C-alpha cells in the first residue's frame, strides 16, 4: 500500500519519498491524481489537439513561460522581441529593453525574467509582461536559460562555467558550474534544481539552492535540450541519440526512455497531470506522457521548428522560429 502526504501549492514543489521501483506505476498514477486535485484541471483524459495561432510578429520565438494569468514569449530577432497572451491565442507585441536576442524567459515571485547573452544589461524583468526594466548580469556571458524554484531565480551560460542567482530577478550574484559545457534547460522539483546540457562529460547538474552545483551522469551522452518536473519525476528530452528521453526521481540517477519518434526534441513541460514535449523536426512534432516513461505521438498543426512549450490554466502553448503561424496551442478544457 502506498501512502501519500498532502502537498501544498503545486506538485512541482513537493518533496516526496519513493518506495521500491516495483511500485513506480502505482506511484505515478497516485501522484497524477493528487496533482490534478491540486490544479483542478485534468489533461490526462483530454483529447489533446493543437491548433495554430498567429504570433504578434514573425520573429524567431525561442522561449515561452506562464505566470500572472499570462503567457510571455521572447525572440532572437524582430522589431518587438516580446509578446504576451492571456490564452495562447491572441498575442500582443511588446518592446524589450534592448533589440538583442532574448534567449529565455521564466516566471517566479510575481515577476517575469528574461536573459540575453548579448545585451548591455543581460537581464530584463517585468511584472505584467508589457513593461520591462533592464538589470545587470554578473558577467558578459552567453546567458541561455532562466529557472525559478524555492524563491530563487537561476541563470547559466551556454559557453562557460558562469552562472548566477537572484531572489528578485533584479540583483544577481555570481556562482559557477563544475563544467563549461553547453547548458540548455533547467527546472526545479523535489527540493532541487536540475539543469541539462548539450555536451560535456556530465550532462546533468543538480543544486539544492541554485548556488552550489554538482555534475551528474546522464542516461546517454545525448544533446539534452530541456527538463521538466511533475508527478514526482524529472523528465529530460534530447535532440539526438538512441533514447531521447530520460527520467529520474531524484535528479541524480537517470533512466533512458524511448521517445515517441526520433525527432529533435527541443522542450518539455508539465501541467494538468501531463508531460508535453515539442520538436523542431519529424512527422509528429508533439508527444505526451503521464509518467515520462511511455510516450504518445501527436501531430502539430504546422511543420514548424517548435522550440519551447509552456503550460498555464489548462492550456499548452508552444512557439517556433519558423512557419506561417509561429504559435500553437491545445486546451485541456
**What is the tens place of the pLDDT at every residue in 144-179?**
999 999 999 999 999 999 999 999 999 999 999 999
Q: Which three cell numbers stand for residue 169?
A: 530577478
Q: What is the pLDDT of residues 291-328, one digit of tens each?
A: 999 999 999 999 999 999 999 999 999 999 999 999 99
* CA–CA dist 25, 5 (Å, integer): 18
Q: Which three cell numbers stand for residue 251?
A: 535528479
* CA–CA dist 80, 257 (Å, integer): 39
Q: Do the Cβ atoms of 90 and 126 come closer than 8 Å?
A: no
- The helix/strand/coil state of 129 is coil
Q: Do the Cβ atoms of 233 and 292 come closer than 8 Å?
A: yes
Q: Do the Cβ atoms of 68 and 86 come closer than 8 Å?
A: no
Which class is 51-331 in CATH? Answer: mainly beta
- The helix/strand/coil state of 288 is strand
Question: What residues contact 289, with CB distance under 8 A and at least 6 apart?
Answer: 235, 274, 275, 295, 296
Measured in degrees and rounded to the nearest 5, phi and psi for residue 33 equal -65, -40
Query: Going residue by residue through the chain (333 aa), what tens digit of pLDDT does each one get?
Result: 333 333 333 333 333 333 344 445 444 445 544 444 445 789 998 789 999 999 999 999 999 999 999 999 999 999 999 999 999 999 999 999 999 999 999 999 999 999 999 999 999 999 999 999 999 999 999 999 999 999 999 999 999 999 999 999 999 999 999 999 999 999 999 999 999 999 999 999 999 999 999 999 999 999 999 999 999 999 999 999 999 999 999 999 999 999 999 999 999 999 999 999 999 999 999 999 999 999 999 999 999 999 999 999 999 999 999 999 999 999 998
pTM: 0.88
Amino acid at each position: 500500500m502506498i501512502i501519500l502526504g498532502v502537498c501544498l501549492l503545486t506538485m512541482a514543489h513537493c518533496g516526496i519519498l519513493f518506495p521500491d521501483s516495483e511500485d513506480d506505476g502505482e506511484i505515478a498514477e497516485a501522484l497524477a491524481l493528487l496533482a490534478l486535485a491540486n490544479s483542478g484541471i485534468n489533461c490526462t483524459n483530454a483529447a489533446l489537439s493543437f491548433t495554430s495561432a498567429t504570433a504578434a510578429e514573425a520573429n524567431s520565438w525561442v522561449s515561452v513561460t506562464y505566470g500572472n494569468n499570462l503567457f510571455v514569449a521572447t525572440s532572437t530577432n524582430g522589431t518587438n522581441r516580446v509578446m504576451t497572451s492571456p490564452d495562447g491565442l491572441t498575442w500582443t507585441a511588446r518592446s524589450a529593453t534592448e533589440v538583442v536576442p532574448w534567449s529565455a524567459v521564466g516566471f517566479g515571485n510575481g515577476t517575469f525574467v528574461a536573459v540575453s547573452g548579448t545585451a548591455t544589461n543581460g537581464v530584463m524583468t517585468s511584472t505584467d509582461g508589457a513593461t520591462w526594466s533592464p538589470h545587470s548580469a554578473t558577467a558578459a556571458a552567453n546567458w541561455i536559460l532562466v529557472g525559478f524554484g524555492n524563491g530563487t531565480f537561476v541563470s547559466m551560460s551556454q559557453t562557460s562555467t558562469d552562472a548566477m542567482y537572484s531572489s528578485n530577478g533584479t540583483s544577481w550574484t555570481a556562482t559557477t558550474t563544475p563544467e563549461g559545457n553547453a547548458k540548455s534547460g533547467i527546472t526545479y522539483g523535489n527540493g532541487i534544481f536540475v539543469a541539462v546540457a548539450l555536451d560535456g562529460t556530465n550532462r546533468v547538474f543538480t543544486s539544492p539552492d541554485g548556488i552550489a552545483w554538482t555534475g551528474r551522469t546522464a542516461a546517454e551522452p545525448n544533446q539534452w535540450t530541456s527538463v521538466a518536473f511533475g508527478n514526482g519525476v524529472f523528465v529530460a528530452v534530447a535532440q539526438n541519440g538512441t533514447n531521447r528521453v530520460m527520467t529520474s526521481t531524484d535528479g541524480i540517477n537517470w533512466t533512458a526512455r524511448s521517445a515517441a519518434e526520433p525527432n529533435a526534441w527541443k522542450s518539455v513541460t508539465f501541467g494538468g497531470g501531463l508531460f508535453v514535449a515539442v520538436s523542431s523536426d519529424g512527422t509528429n512534432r508533439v508527444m505526451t506522457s503521464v509518467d515520462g516513461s511511455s510516450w504518445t505521438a501527436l501531430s502539430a498543426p504546422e511543420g514548424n521548428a517548435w522550440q519551447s512549450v509552456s503550460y498555464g490554466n489548462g492550456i499548452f502553448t508552444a512557439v517556433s522560429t519558423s512557419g506561417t503561424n509561429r504559435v500553437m496551442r491545445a486546451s485541456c478544457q
